[in-house]
Amino acid sequence: MGTVQYDFTDETVIVTGGSSGIGRAIALAFGDAGATVLNADVDPEPKDRDADEPTHERIEAEGGTAAFVETDVSDPEEIAVAVEAAREHGGVDVMVNNAGLYIGGPMLETTEAAFDRIHAVNAKGVFFGTQIAAEDMIDRGVAGSIVNTASISSAVAQFGQVQYDSTKGAIRMITRGSALELAEHDVRVNAVAPGQIATEFLDGWTEEAQEGAAADEFLKPVPLGRAGFPTDVAPAALFLASDAAGYVTGELLYVDGGWQIV
């Protein structure tokens, strides 16, 4: 099979939630592709068990340019600070709204506080991340790209995940609606929609995901026979941000091992 290489030299990329998991993989991939990467997260320390240094330090150690900007995406003012920080490197060219959290549990037992918290990070963070980055791109007159992290939950309900699924459904429509409004400004908006990815998003999920996929124990089997990894999602994000996807906007690119087709 062929290989693909992307070149983001002279471009600045913000990745929210870039310290761990899918966000870290995306940030490292952009760093490998020559971009200046800003990790906008609440904590620079990675949660991944195989990661021994912060994302920005890893990129710099490999000869790239990167920085950490402490950012709570539930606060639009902090997102604005991250976007302003990108101006020191020429301004944001690619915005990856990846930061998110998971709060599960039955709908009948969901508290208002839990509902508000997950929507503040997952949905509000993506909405204002898109808005603030787009405003900066338009102000600078650049043809920018915004990539959001959605999910299979953007379109498929899963038991005990109403509050989480609703945030990912919101991201789907934020992506599509923003793409419609921003097209005239040459700003494209798309999303990656991961399936069952082995990350530290849930404590211990890495081993459980691997064992479950191997034993076909998921509620739905994964046709490709394994859980996905963050490194399976990162190339999709780079594609959507690149000129190769120059005629693609408002789309969700599912990276789920075929989970939806079962």
| Residue 211 banded pLDDT, cuts 50, 70, 90 | low
Structure letter (DSSP) for residue 197: B
When mean pLDDT is compared across 140-144, 174-178, 256-260, the lowest value belongs to 256-260
Q: What is the pLDDT of residue 1?
A: 80
Tens-digit pLDDT profile for residues 50-89: 888 999 999 999 999 999 999 999 999 999 999 999 999 9
| pLDDT value for 208 | 52
Q: Is residue 229 part of a domain?
A: yes
* 36 sits in which H/E element: strand 36-41
Annotated catalytic residue, options 102, 164, 247, 254: 164
Which run of H or of E encompasses 19? none
Lowest mean pLDDT, pick from 15-24, 135-144, 225-234? 225-234
Instruction: Tell me the C-alpha distance between 252 and 240, whole Å.
Output: 10
What values do phi and psi take at 184, rounded to 5? -65, -15
> Poorest-confidence range of 118-132, 155-169, 210-224, 243-257?
210-224
Contact 24, 55 (CB under 8 A): yes
Cβ neighbours around 90 below 10 Å, total: 13
* Separation of alpha carbons 45 and 78, rounded Å: 19
Per-residue pLDDT tens over the stretch 86-120: 999 999 999 999 999 999 999 999 999 999 999 99
In this predicted structure, the answer to whether residue 199 has a pLDDT above a threshold of 90 is no
d(CA 254, CA 233): 9
- Domain membership of residue 198 as a residue range: 12-261
User: Does residue 2 sit within a domain?
Assistant: no
Q: What is the CATH number of the domain that holds 120?
A: 3.40.50.720
On the question of pLDDT at 202 being above 90, the answer is no
SS3 content of the chain, % helix, strand, coil (to 5): 45, 15, 40
pLDDT for 125-136, tens place per residue? Answer: 999 999 999 999
Evaluate whether residue 71 is within a structural domain.
yes
Domain count for the chain, please give it. Answer: 1
Let me know if residue 5 belongs to a domain: no
Is residue 224 included in any domain, yes or no? yes
Note the pTM of the prediction, 2 decimals: 0.93
Clarify whether 164 is annotated catalytic.
Answer: yes
